[in-house]
Amino acid sequence: MTDRRETNRKPKHRPNRPKRPSKGLERDWSEGERIAKYLARAGVASRREAEAMIERGEVRVDGRKLTTPAFKVTGREDIRVHGKRVQAHEPVRVWRYHKPSGLITTTSDPEGRRTIFDELPKSLPRTITIGRLDLTTEGILLLTNDGHLARAMELPKTGFVRHYRARAHGETTQEILDSLKGGVTLDDGTRYTSIEAELERQTGTNNWLNVRLTEGKNREVRKALEHLGLQVNRLIRTQYGPFELSDLRPGAVEEIPAEVLREQLKDVIPSKLLPQEPEDRPQRRRPSGGARVHRRKR
């Protein structure tokens, strides 16, 4: 006997019952945001790191272990990482940090070297870096509690200029340094776009240079100058986009006021990623000298 489907038959009356939750955690809710994005905005880890945590079974929602990052949350759930409950998103915050030489900017190091996170004040919430500085490079490093803002500020399309002061050993002239303006291709095929380098002064065989670039690739200043026969023996980043190192002492951390962030970033960063402006906005106060900022040159 073949099966029949009766299309016009009136269904039997059944009392309204709440829908039973689907089995497993692969359900995709119509509201909320993906768990990895939520964890990144909460400052737990970057989105990629959060996805890796989920794959390792380190994330639980309402007591159940997640098996896939394709899952949405609203923030009303009991979300835990390594057994510790994740708090709701905090307001977006950004700090200026004067990174000393001798520290790396990753959260941990297989070689056991000290990281900036070992040295930051314990009162600081969990933060991630906006860009990085290598082991021996000093100067301004921006920190934030919001992964999306960090990624947005690192994108080349922002046009943020990185300013450095470099001390380099070797012989050079301004004419040689100007060759970097048209970009440079290293022997290994690495290509750098325009780099501006100005010879500030010479002391014996050491040269003090002011360097400006927009890409910020790994060890870009050192490698570009090495291509010209110069060996960098000290490198200080003095400015990242509109934010300046100023007189911030090595190891010190200072928060950038929310109103300054909005004012300096409103033209290049989506407003939804910036600190929200309160309804009753207090009178704007001028940032202190330690928080001095400069507008990006156009």
143-186 pLDDT per residue, tens: 999 888 999 999 888 989 999 999 999 999 999 999 999 999 99
147 and 172 fall within a common domain: no
Q: Do the strands 243-244 and 231-240 form a parallel or antiparallel pair, or are they unpaired?
A: antiparallel
d(CA 284, CA 107): 35
Give pLDDT, residue 282: 44
Give pLDDT, residue 173: 95
d(CA 104, CA 86): 27
Q: Is the pLDDT of residue 56 over 60?
A: yes
In the chain, pLDDT over 70 holds for what percent of residues?
A: 83
Give the DSSP letter of residue 136.
T
Write down the residue that tokens 């939750």 correspond to. 21
CB 94 within 8 A of CB 131: no
Give pLDDT, residue 216: 83
9-42 pLDDT per residue, tens: 454 555 555 444 444 444 444 567 889 888 877 7
Cα Rg, the chain, nearest whole Å: 25
172 and 233 fall within a common domain: yes
For 95, list phi and psi in degrees, rounded to 5.
-125, 150
Give the domain-ending residue among 240, 257, 289.
Answer: 240
58 and 103 fall within a common domain: no
Residue 142: which H helix or E strand, with range? strand 137-144
56 and 101 fall within a common domain: no
Domain that holds residue 62: 33-85
Write down the residue that tokens 């803002």 correspond to. 149
Catalytic residue positions?
134
Task: Tell me the residue type at 211.
Answer: V
